[in-house]
Amino acid sequence: MTSAVSFINVSRHYGEIRAVDGLDLEIREGEFFALLGPSGSGKTTSLRLIAGFERPTTGHIEIFGERAEGIPPYRRNVNTVFQDYALFPHLSVIDNVAYGLKMKGVSKNERRATAEEMLELVKLPGYGDRSPAKLSGGQRQRVALARALVNKPKVLLLDEPLGALDLKLREQMQEELKDLQKRLGITFVFVTHDQGEALSMADRIAVFDSGRIRQVGTPEDIYRKPRSRFVADFVGSSNVLPPEFTERVAGERCWSSLRPEAVRLVKSGGHEATLVSSSYLGSQYRCVFDVGGREINALIPAGAKLPAEGDEVRISWNKSDLHLMEDEA
Ligand code: ADP
Ligand code: MG
């Protein structure tokens, strides 16, 4: 498997601030790779290091196996879709898209033809003569995408590209981006602070915290097997359970996580619990149980007969669903 981008013990410090702090990461060719983490965790800085807008304080970036030191951004085979789109307001849509080709000295006719193709690719055929100011947020997003793709980069960097769109449009663009990435077969490095977005779109995810990576894995790994409390809290709606609780129910003294859909009501066995509250979600009930003073969230399929709030019940889960975690570093 060829690696598209490698971070080799990379740090980027600004004075006392460790924006990126000792990163080791390998992004494979053709992957849809998400950098997921809270605001300020170093995602944008990591993208800028790949793009060449920033230099590592220490460590190395490699792009397709080649050391990136000294290679300027425009020669890196990498393009960026910026968070705020950064379109040129005084240029038409087509000139925005064709800009990268103009910089390369491509002839006017060829520029226009390629830019038209790109507009078709992002489903904006015939929009070339408009001004960016006349477009909706979603359309501007597509122009930014077309502009970044026009140079046929091998790696596309996207910094929270859907953050400014409303929910419905965001979901539509998620599908389209995923589809586009599959069709073009190029590597996408996608920054987001939205765990749902990362889980649904990415082949693999790196979870960032304070300039470091806490875990790298497939969406399923990250969701079902969070390695630490930080990842479990950030990524999921999982119950995050302290060592005393884990010891009481599983005999191991460590933090653990338990997904709400793994919890079920049982007649016998399991654990004594009290139903604290429940709400109807259509296909499921969202329930909160009290187990010896610890609240456990559960999703119970609708159709099951639900006890009343305050009732004493028994709940259980498969042993393998109680996921034991490492302690925080
Ligand atoms: P994210 O994209 O995950 O929100 P950033 O990579 O933008 O995070 O920032 C990580 C940290 O580095 C933050 O604390 C931010 O304030 C700091 N930072 C980023 N760029 C600079 C800069 N040019 N000068 C000083 N501090 C910066
Ligand atoms: Mg950012």
pLDDT given for residue 178 in this prediction: 94
Beta strands of 133-283 (E only): which ranges? 155-159, 187-192, 204-209, 212-217, 239-241, 256-258, 264-266, 271-280
Give the whole-angstrom CA distance, residue 267 versus residue 302: 17
pLDDT given for residue 2 in this prediction: 87
From atom 5 of ligand 1, which residue's Cα is the shortest distance away?
42
pLDDT given for residue 327 in this prediction: 67
* Mutational pocket test of ligand 1: of 45, 55, 159, 209, the residue with most ligand atoms within 8 Å of the beta carbon: 45
Burial group, residue 28, by CB count within 10 angstroms (0-12, 13-18, 19+):
middle
pLDDT digits (tens, 9 = 90+) for 156-190: 999 999 988 888 889 989 999 999 999 999 999 99
Percent of the chain's residues with pLDDT above 90: 85
Q: Ligand 1 within 6 A of 86 CB?
A: no
pLDDT given for residue 177 in this prediction: 93
Give the whole-angstrom CA distance, residue 154 versus residue 187: 6
pLDDT given for residue 328 in this prediction: 60
Give the whole-angstrom CA distance, residue 245 versus residue 254: 9
From atom 18 of ligand 1, which residue's Cα is the shortest distance away?
19
Q: Ligand 1 within 6 A of 42 CB?
A: yes
From residue 60, how far is each of 9, 52, 100 by CA, in Å? 7, 12, 27
The order of strands in the sheet holding 312-316 is: 264-266, 312-316, 271-280, 284-291, 294-301
pLDDT given for residue 315 in this prediction: 96
pLDDT given for residue 77 in this prediction: 92
Side-chain-side CA neighbours of 171 within 13 Å: the count stands at 3
Q: Ligand 1 within 6 A of 88 CB?
A: no
Ligand 1 centre distance from Cα of residue 223 (Å): 27
* Mutational pocket test of ligand 1: of 17, 20, 50, 234, the residue with most ligand atoms within 8 Å of the beta carbon: 17
Residues of the chain predicted below pLDDT 50: 329
Ligand nearest to the CA of 35: 1
Query: pTM for the full model?
Result: 0.90
Beta strands of the chain (E only): which ranges? 3-14, 17-28, 32-36, 58-63, 66-67, 78-81, 155-159, 187-192, 204-209, 212-217, 239-241, 256-258, 264-266, 271-280, 284-291, 294-301, 312-316, 323-324
Sorted by where each starts, the structural domains of the chain and their CATH numbers stand as: 3-232 (3.40.50.300), 241-324 (2.40.50.140)
| C-beta atoms surrounding 292 within 10 Å | 12
Strands 312-316, 271-280: pairing is: antiparallel
Which residue from 147, 156, 151, 225 is spatially nearest to 190, judged by alpha carbons? 156
pLDDT given for residue 43 in this prediction: 98
Q: What is the DSSP letter of 193?
A: S
pLDDT given for residue 329 in this prediction: 47
